[in-house]
Amino acid sequence: MSFWSYLKDKFLLLLLQAVCMCIMGVFLCLTGYPVADFWLILIAWFVILSAWLITNWLERRRYFQKMDRILEGLDQRYLLGELMPKSWHLEDKLYQGMIRKSNKAVIERIHQIEEEESDYKEYIEGWVHEIKAPITSISLICENRRKQGDSEYGTVGLENQKIENYVDMALYYARSEEVYKDYMIQETSLEAVVYEVLSKNRQFLIEHQIQAEVDCQDKVYTDGKWISFLLNQMILNSVKYKSEHPLLKIYTRKTEKSVLLILEDNGICIRKEELSRIFDKGFTGSNGRAHERATGMGLYICKKLSSKLGVDLRAESTWGKGTKMMIEFPISTYLSKM
């Protein structure tokens, strides 16, 4: 609030003062007072008016600066109504009352939405757990019949596994906001995680003639369950965009500050201009559109989860060679010192 804009705001008051000064001048002239007296009164008037304007400006400025600071310091800005500095001005009080009312309405609405959202999330989580029982039944039935030589059941089993994967995506997406609630960090052998994911998708991968080389000696501190979800999505992507003789190389690299889990495929590449956007929500890209139905959600969920888990998810792609997906686990220097 500059002084100039303050004066502009007080324009009517200043005009009134000026008019009053003129009227007084005319009145003094007509009643025969000496001109010197007129100037004296005018100067005194002017000084008093200026002093009042300056103090009032300073006071107002302090008030609004204080409010500004409070607003800056708030992480939920809609709570301003509860924290506004006290003021004896009638206008301020009226405004504060209204802001408070309006904020209260906002807060109530936010609470309502939060409640609805958490209800919905709870329902989704419950639903996912319910649906896992029939998926398990189907998977067991198919596996048993397939072993007896009925290949139709193998196909049903594969489709069932797709359902399972979509259900998993829904579950992990619903949980992605509150990873901390379900995160148990322990020393995890990446090799075991990789083997589990490969063996889980065994039938699907064999059917797609996939070969895999695994070399994951390093251990990291993380929760295997979440990493196996990330890896699962990445492997399914690699298969979706595979080339003629698909080969997956899964290996770890240890650097000074981190352990990298790398999934390298020799499938079709991601265009350079699309590489930065593959983790965006709903992005399917030219590959996605050309192939099976891509929802553009898989990698988005992966990226979201990885940032919550404190690992870094990256992609590299060289034209004609394939794509590398990397999960980087930072090594805490604090832990290694202990």
Partner 1 sequence: MNIVVIEDEPIIRNELKILLENALYEVTLIETFDHAADCVLQTRADLILLDLNLPGISGLDICTQIREKSEIPIIFLTSRTSSMDELTGMLKGGDDYITKPYQAPLLLARIAAVLKRTNPSASNEVSILKVKEVELNLARGCICHKDKKAELTKNELKILHYLFLHAGEIVSRLDLVEYLWDNQVFIDDNTLSVNVTRIRGKLKSIGIEDFIETKRGMGYRI
Phi, psi (rounded to 5 degrees) for 321:
-115, -40
Question: Could you say whether residue 195 binds partner 1 (CB under 8 A)?
Answer: yes
Question: Could you say whether residue 184 binds partner 1 (CB under 8 A)?
Answer: yes
Question: Could you say whether residue 316 binds partner 1 (CB under 8 A)?
Answer: no
Question: Which range of residues in 29-37, 70-78, 128-136, 271-279 is near partner 1 by CB under 8 A?
Answer: 128-136
Number of H helices, E strands in the chain: 13, 7
Q: 307, 278, 204, 297: which is closest to 246 by C-alpha?
A: 204
- Which of 55, 136, 217, 295 binds partner 1 (CB under 8 A)? It is 136
Question: Could you say whether residue 164 binds partner 1 (CB under 8 A)?
Answer: yes
Question: Could you say whether residue 209 binds partner 1 (CB under 8 A)?
Answer: yes
Question: CA of 124: how far to CAs of 116, 121, 164, in Å?
Answer: 12, 5, 14
Question: Could you say whether residue 205 binds partner 1 (CB under 8 A)?
Answer: yes
Give the total of residues touching partner 1 (CB under 8 A).
Answer: 37
The residue written with tokens 């990397």 in the block is: 326
Based on CB atoms, which residue is closest to partner 1, 133 or 335? 133
Between CA 26 and CA 22 the distance in angstroms is 6
Q: Cα–chain-centroid distance for residue 143?
A: 41
Question: Could you say whether residue 210 binds partner 1 (CB under 8 A)?
Answer: yes
Instruction: Report 224-283 residues binding partner 1 (CB under 8 A).
Output: 225, 248
Give the β-pairing of 258-265 and 322-330: antiparallel
Instruction: Report 32-61 residues binding partner 1 (CB under 8 A).
Output: none
Between CA 274 and CA 167 the distance in angstroms is 27
**Helices 35-73 and 11-30, packing angle to 10 deg:** 170
Question: Could you say whether residue 143 binds partner 1 (CB under 8 A)?
Answer: yes
Question: Could you say whether residue 214 binds partner 1 (CB under 8 A)?
Answer: yes
Q: Which residues bind partner 1 (CB under 8 A)?
A: 129-130, 132-133, 135-137, 139-141, 143-144, 147, 164, 171, 181-184, 195-196, 198-200, 202-203, 205-206, 209-214, 223, 225, 248
